[in-house]
Chains A and B, each alone.
Chain A
Amino acid sequence: MAERSGMVEKRGLGLWLTHLGLIIGVLFIFFPIWLAFVASTVENQDIIRPPMPVWPGDQMIENYTNALVAGINAPVALMLFNSLVMALGIALGKIAISLLSAFAIVYFRFPFRQTFFWLIFLTLMLPVEVRIVPTYEVVANFGMLNSYSGLILPLVASATATFLFRQFFLTVPDELAEAARVDGARPMQFFFDILLPMSRTNIAALFVILFIYGWNQYLWPLLITTDPEMNTIVMGIKQMFPSGDDFAHWPTIMATSILAMVPPVIVVVGMQKLFIRGLVESEK
């Protein structure tokens, strides 16, 4: 057939078309980010007066320094730090708690073990948004508004991570626990010496997911931090929008947006290898 003779050529064309499609897709996704970057490097007038520039201006250093040091309500550097504390606190707290609860559920026989597991599992169906009013009430009564503990603690319990670790622990052969028992390891020694090192790829994968989850929290910080000094960066961007007839200082806002994107990107890129290994392979 005529088409068959052109097989190689056709495949070449297909390759180009695939790449073209992918490149267009990437550009499509990337364009708004590019615009944000451009807006963070020009002066406010350039943005307000149409048409909006498409190439970076010369105000980059001024805009970013201004954002980091002064900001609008609070210095962005401070908001970055708040976000970092919150994201790290949530990620590490969630991992610690879910490791321990999964350990308890899988390795110990206590009354109502299954009940507890299903209770934890049920909370999967109750995301922060659903339980936000009672949670707010509790946090407010504890006097944890405008504090790191208020930002972190209510988001720390995690059914997803517990479930994930439970599934992983179930794949660890029972004989390993028995060998450790014969070797004289106490339960917590078994946990720290054997279970924990074996779960390290899972922990890394989960850390990436949970760090981004914590970093991107919007509603909860918006609700419980009234003090600009305690704002996290993701919600802080919204707080920078002017109310009423004020002018927005777009270069600063856009610089903040770009800055807000950097840490998750660093975490994802930096931990990519571990992350993928944790999702696809289990070491036994």
Chain B
Amino acid sequence: MATLTLENVKKSFGKTDVIHGVSVDVQDGEFIVIVGPSGCGKSTLLRMVAGLEAVSSGDIQIGGRRVNDVEPMDRDIAMVFQNYALYPHMSVFDNMAYGLKIAKVPKPEIEERVRQAAKLLQLEPYLTRKPRELSGGQRQRVAMGRAIVRKPAVFLFDEPLSNLDAKLRVQMRLEIKALQRALGVTALYVTHDQVEAMTMADRMIVMNGGVADQIGAPLDVYANPATEFVAGFIGSPPTNFIDGAAVGQSGGHRVGVRPEHMQLVGAGAGRLDGRAAYCEALGAETLVHVKSATGTQITVRQDAGHPIPEEGSEVGMDWDRENEMPFNAEGKRL
């Protein structure tokens, strides 16, 4: 258990800069999710914390100790990999015990720690099996177990759920979060799935093109996105972006409005007119996709009770001024 500090951490491969300086202070026991599209540098950032990539400049501190030049095993971290990276020829028990064996932990203690982790993860019946005899979810658990037995100060997760099916993903998401709370370990979790980020994070780091666009609690980030990118990336369906001039926003270059903040009104009665392109009725809610007069795609989310417009019909859209999120030409929030 420890704090984790990144101070203006940069990474470049040759002449290409992939991470342009990220700074964050992670509290002890905090669950931080790094989220962003593929290629934004989120995995590279995690791998630098793990010690699998060298830091080009800046400092990484774990528990107040600078670890830039410390080997991965001496950083007091444990990592769960995307494809689990279990040793195929070892049993589940040996997979979990390998790190401890290398650290020359006495045999009875290894036994004890592995049994404990196995119990926590409901892996007890499978301890003698080989990874290939396990299902995806079980392998995922073994990978977690391997991390737990080391009793690390920081857990690192590199898209651990992306190889699971949708249902299992939701289940494991809850389990990982519960486990992290129970163990009280600081965690850094990388994902491209904004739902995972929203549901698991104490705070999240939204990365875009090697820059941390915004760092904050999920709901704060959702309500107050700092950049146009964050507004578009966090939230599903994504934020609508409307030309500022078209809706009388003097300062804003573009204006973002969340789909749930928009209402459909009669044509001409709202602040913007368009033609309903198609509607997705999802039961509890309906997503109405509208093509505005200027050609912008706009999504309106409305509750099930409201009438669903005919596809191809003219509609108007209205929203409160206070829900507008104006952005300047560089995509920064005004």
Contacts and interface: CB of A to CB of B under 8 A. Distances in A.
B81 A179 contact: yes
B329 interface: no
A194 B86 CA distance: 10
Given A173-B83, A175-B83, A183 B89 contact: no
A226 to B, nearest CB: 47
Contacts of B176: none
Contacts of B150: 183
B77 A185 contact: no
B139 to A, nearest CB: 13
B79 interface: yes
A189 B72 contact: no
B88 interface: yes
Contacts of B146: 179, 183
Given A181-B73, A182-B50, A183-B98, A194 B87 contact: yes
Contacts of B72: 181-182, 184
B102 interface: yes
Interface residues of A, number: 19
B1 to A, nearest CB: 18
A182 B98 contact: no
* Dominant SS among interface residues on chain A: helix
Contacts of B83: 173, 175
A74 B316 CA distance: 105
Contact of B73 (A183, A194, A200): A183
A173 B146 CA distance: 18
A176 B85 contact: yes
Contact of A284 (B77, B88, B99): B88
Interface in A58-72: none
A175 B73 contact: no
Interface in B43-85: 50-52, 71-73, 77-79, 81-83, 85
* A175, A185, A189 interface centre (most CB from chain B within 10 Å): A175
A182 B49 CA distance: 11
B82 A175 contact: yes
B103 interface: yes
Contact of B88 (A175, A178, A184, A283): A283
B52 A184 contact: no
B130 to A, nearest CB: 9
Given A181-B72, A194-B87, A283-B88, A175 B102 contact: no
Contact of B102 (A178, A183, A198): A183
B99 A183 contact: yes
Interface centre among A180, A183, A197, A200 (most CB of B within 10 A): A183
Contact of B89 (A175, A181, A189, A283): A283
A227 interface: no
A198 B89 contact: yes
A181 B98 CA distance: 11
A42 to B, nearest CB: 53
B99 A181 contact: no
A185 B79 CA distance: 14
Contact of A176 (B52, B87, B102, B103): B87
Given A175-B82, A181-B51, 16 more contacts: A175-B83, A178-B50, A178-B52, A179-B79, A181-B71, A182-B50, A183-B102, A183-B146, A184-B102, A184-B103, A185-B98, A189-B102, A193-B87, A193-B98, A198-B88, A284-B88
16 contacts: A178-B81, A178-B85, A179-B87, A180-B98, A182-B50, A182-B51, A182-B73, A183-B102, A183-B150, A184-B102, A185-B73, A185-B102, A193-B87, A193-B98, A194-B89, A198-B89
Interface of A: 173, 175-176, 178-185, 189, 193-194, 197-198, 200, 283-284
